Every structure is written in structure tokens, then in C-alpha cells.
């Protein structure tokens, strides 16, 4: 499931008992999710920028024209 800015804003970590701080495993797992989602978004943005640039410079291949149905069975 995609990570949203609200997920990051609303994330609360469980305080650790007997010492100050948060559960390191929980924090590490969340940071791994954030890292994966940021990587996915960065790749998606790069692909979209490439497609936009190609379309603006005319480098994109045109979509194949639809073929008319055959008159012969």
C-alpha cells in the first residue's frame, strides 16, 4: 500500500519501557517503508519526466493507428 504524507505525519512509535526512547525495530521498519516508497516515487517521477521530455521534443513514438475492419470475411 502506498505511503502517504499523512501516514508519516500521523505515525506514532511505541515508547520503550525502562529506558528513554522508542522501539528501534519499529522505527527501523517504518524508515524502511519510507525509503522504499520514496524510491518508488523517485523512479516514477523520473519515468514521467523522460516521457514528457520525449513527447515535447517529438521523440516519442506515435501510437499505432487503429486498423479498419476487413471488408472480407
- Confidence (pLDDT) at 61: 57
Q: Determine contact, residues 37/44, Cβ cutoff 8 Å.
A: no
Q: Which helix (H) or strand (E) holds 50?
A: helix 24-57
pLDDT band at 71 (very low <50, low <70, confident <90, very high): low
- Confidence (pLDDT) at 12: 87
pLDDT tens digit string along 1-59? 677 888 888 888 888 888 888 888 999 999 999 998 999 999 999 999 999 999 999 86
Q: Determine contact, residues 60/51, Cβ cutoff 8 Å.
A: yes
- Confidence (pLDDT) at 62: 54
Other beta carbons less than 10 A from residue 53's beta carbon: 11
The rounded distance, in Å, linking the Cα atoms of 60 and 54 is: 5
Q: Which three cell numbers stand for residue 59?
A: 521523440
Q: Determine contact, residues 14/29, Cβ cutoff 8 Å.
A: no
Amino acid at each position: 500500500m502506498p505511503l502517504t504524507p499523512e501516514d508519516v505525519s500521523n505515525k506514532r512509535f511505541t515508547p520503550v519501557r525502562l529506558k528513554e526512547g522508542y522501539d528501534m525495530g519499529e522505527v527501523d521498519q517504518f524508515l524502511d517503508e519510507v525509503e522504499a516508497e520514496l524510491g518508488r516515487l523517485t523512479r516514477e517521477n523520473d519515468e514521467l519526466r523522460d516521457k514528457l521530455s520525449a513527447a515535447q521534443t517529438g521523440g516519442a513514438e506515435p501510437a499505432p493507428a487503429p486498423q479498419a475492419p476487413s471488408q472480407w470475411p
